[in-house]
Chain A
Amino acid sequence: MKQKENVKKLLFYILSSAIALLMVMPFIWSLLTSIKPDEEIFSIPLQWLPSTFTFDHYIEAFQSVPFGRYLFNSLYLAVMGVLFNLLFGSMSGYAFAKLKFKGRNVIFAILLAAMMIPGVVVMIPQYIVLNNMPLMGGNDILGQGGHGLLNNFWAVILPGAAGSFAVFFMRQFFLTLPDEYMESARIDGCSEFRIYWNLYLPLTKPALATLGIFTFQAGWNSFLWPLIVLNDRSLYTVQIGLQAFTFDKQTAYGPMMAATIVIILPIILIFMYLQKYFIDGANFSGIKS
């Protein structure tokens, strides 16, 4: 019996290690490629470890493309996305969970239903809405004449600033908190906004952390929408910049892998450090539908 258990254990470790290797190998291989001298990148048969480490590809990646600029842009957009979603998501989540008001259930149901609408159907109208935003980017009061919010970071920030998911996520968390604080604070004459801000919001730190990390990851990784609304090179995000790499420098795999590592690394490091939150977020996003 014990022997059978040991065989099972051994099989488990062999199988799991093989799959783990498959999952992680692409990262390792691109890291190794990025620090190899050129002739070793293209050696046949393949050379696993570089004979000498070189950071030339990293230097080249940053010099041939304004990658520092792209990194800043992506960071800014991701952080703004997090801040807005945490603020608006928690405000509405609190209202839907703890306050009574007319139309609460209907409005909430409509917000939820919107999660089912595929992004592609609102892609073109959202673009037109941004293009015709009144008094923005040279537009008149009717939204004519200029380019509105296009080629502006707000074009990325605003449409994603109050995601249904953030509202739903925060509402579920507020529901788990007891009503008693609210009731006694009201008797003490505390304003509704202060009850939300000073009493309940501090209790949601774990939820905010999970939502924040999830939102950051989504923002950092988003591609199609920034590609559509940010056409000015100085506004490019890392994902757009990276994709531009493949077309501009068809065979420069060294710098390309270096650039890839630079944009994957932050998210992997955050993941290693805060994996619990990633897992919670993924778990929760599954329960949402």
Chain B
Amino acid sequence: MKWNRLNETNGSSLALSFTSKKSSFNRYQSRAAYFLIAPTLLLFVVFMIIPIAMAIYLSFTSYDIISEIEWVGLENFRRLISDEILWITFKNVGVLTIFYVPLMIIISLSLAILVTKPYRGVTIFRLAFYMPTVTSAVAASIVWLWLLNAEYGLINQLLSYIGIAGPAWLAESAPAMASVIAVTLWLGVGGNMIIYMAGLKGIPNQLYEAARIDGASGFQQLIHITFPMLRPTTLLVSTMTIIGALQIFDQAYVLTQGGPANSTKTIVYHIYTTGFEQLQMGYASAQALVLTLTILIFTVINFKINQSKD
């Protein structure tokens, strides 16, 4: 017991023979450690711990930067219930998530399967698929603003070649939401493709060999080997994708400014407007807490769904 503990605290068996020296040395070591983590901890407390406590406190107050903070109790949360625009943004983000998350999983996994094929030049495809991920959502949205231009945009001009009159993508509710989803997918599939590639690499090849010997088709191998073996990866990708989807801002802000008629306005966009344009910081904090709770609930549900299959 004593042996173990000593080894644990020092990591070196040498220390056993210098028990008294060791304790002063350990003190010295912890001093060095505290010195090394001090800047991180200081910033963490100032910009994370205090803000989290403040967020909870602020949600019970009315605060507009200019006047004093005023305690209003549950008033903000009562107000949330009748906040029509907030519920519209929740609905928008809900619709977005329902389409976006499954598409993200299907597309990024398909791309990963594609680029783990042992063909020559596959690296080039990997890079091409990943490239949108390195660009900013703002720059990408501006490019898409041009591509989706109703009259002169590339998309509608290409559609006109095959006799389709494309919609005014960003000026009508349904196409606008579809555009936001498509652009977000285009931006993000590369990153998740990489994560799936790592997951695919972890599947032992013998499983496939055995399945082939048993005469399983490619599709059967996909269903019975690839999907089940990738479940932890899918849990990770879906969790991150849901968390990301619930917090989309940049694309909606640049592509559509939330329009037409709030149809693409997101929750974070609404919080940004409430807090920083209308300066209702207490109320915006209450909205942010509700979003945090929503994210938590969806994450837990997602974990439950993915685990129950085990």
Contact = CB atoms under 8 A, between A and B. Distances in A.
Interface in A135-166: 158-159, 161-162, 164
B128 A124 contact: no
Contacts of A128: 54, 58, 63, 65, 281
Contacts of B292: 117-118, 120-121
9 contacts: A42-B152, A45-B157, A94-B36, A100-B10, A107-B37, A118-B292, A129-B50, A282-B195, A286-B240
Contacts of A109: none
Interface string B43-82: 1101110111011001000010100000000000000000
Interface stretch (B88-96, B135-143, B223-231): B135-143
B211 interface: no
Contacts of B11: 100, 179
A119 interface: yes
B52 A283 contact: no
Contacts of A285: 191
Interface stretch (A53-61, A65-73, A202-210, A271-279): A271-279
Interface in B1-57: 9-12, 14, 25-26, 28-30, 32-37, 39-41, 43-44, 46-48, 50-52, 54-55
B285 A124 contact: yes
Interface in A243-285: 243, 245-246, 253, 256-257, 260, 263-264, 267-268, 271-272, 275, 278-279, 282-283, 285
Contacts, number: 287
Given A29-B146, A30-B143, 13 more contacts: A20-B125, A26-B144, A46-B154, A91-B39, A120-B288, A122-B47, A124-B281, A124-B284, A191-B32, A217-B134, A228-B272, A264-B136, A267-B136
- Report the interface size class on chain A: 35 or more
A27 B295 CA distance: 33
B119 A12 contact: yes
Contacts of B194: 279, 282-283, 286
Contact of B291 (A91, A104, A120, A282): A120
Interface in B136-189: 136-140, 142-147, 149, 151-152, 154, 157-158, 160, 186
B200 interface: no
Nearest to B123: A275
B103 interface: no
A286 B142 contact: no
By secondary structure, the A interface counts as helix
Contacts of B47: 122, 126, 129, 158-159
B100 interface: no
A242 B250 CA distance: 12
A215 interface: no
B298 to A, nearest CB: 11
A179 B133 CA distance: 37
A245 B146 CA distance: 13
B290 to A, nearest CB: 10
B37 A267 contact: no
A99 B32 contact: yes
Contact of A124 (B34, B133, B288): B288
B85 interface: no
Nearest to A48: B154
Interface of B: 9-12, 14, 25-26, 28-30, 32-37, 39-41, 43-44, 46-48, 50-52, 54-55, 58, 63, 65, 111, 114-115, 117, 119, 121-122, 124-140, 142-147, 149, 151-152, 154, 157-158, 160, 186, 190-192, 194-195, 197-198, 236-237, 239-240, 243, 246-247, 249-250, 253-254, 267-268, 271-272, 275-276, 281, 284-285, 288-289, 291-292, 295
Nearest to B196: A286
Given A100-B26, A242-B142, A92 B37 contact: yes
A271 B115 contact: no
A123 B111 contact: no
A19 B43 contact: no
Interface string A33-48: 1000000011011100
Nearest to B254: A243
A221 interface: yes
A256 B146 contact: yes
B143 A260 contact: yes
B135 A221 contact: yes
Contacts of B291: 118, 120-121
Of listed A15, A20, A120, residue having the most chain B CB within 10 A = A120
Nearest to B154: A29
A100 B30 contact: yes
A289 B285 contact: no
Contacts of A183: 12, 14
Given A33-B146, A92-B36, A260-B142, A283 B43 contact: no
B16 to A, nearest CB: 13
**A-B complex: 7 closest residue pairs judged by Cβ atoms:** A192-B32, A125-B51, A221-B136, A286-B195, A101-B30, A125-B54, A20-B128
B58 A125 contact: yes
A193 B35 contact: yes
Contacts of B275: 123-124, 127
Given A91-B40, A99-B29, A118-B291, A220 B136 contact: yes
A52 to B, nearest CB: 19
Contacts of A13: 119, 121
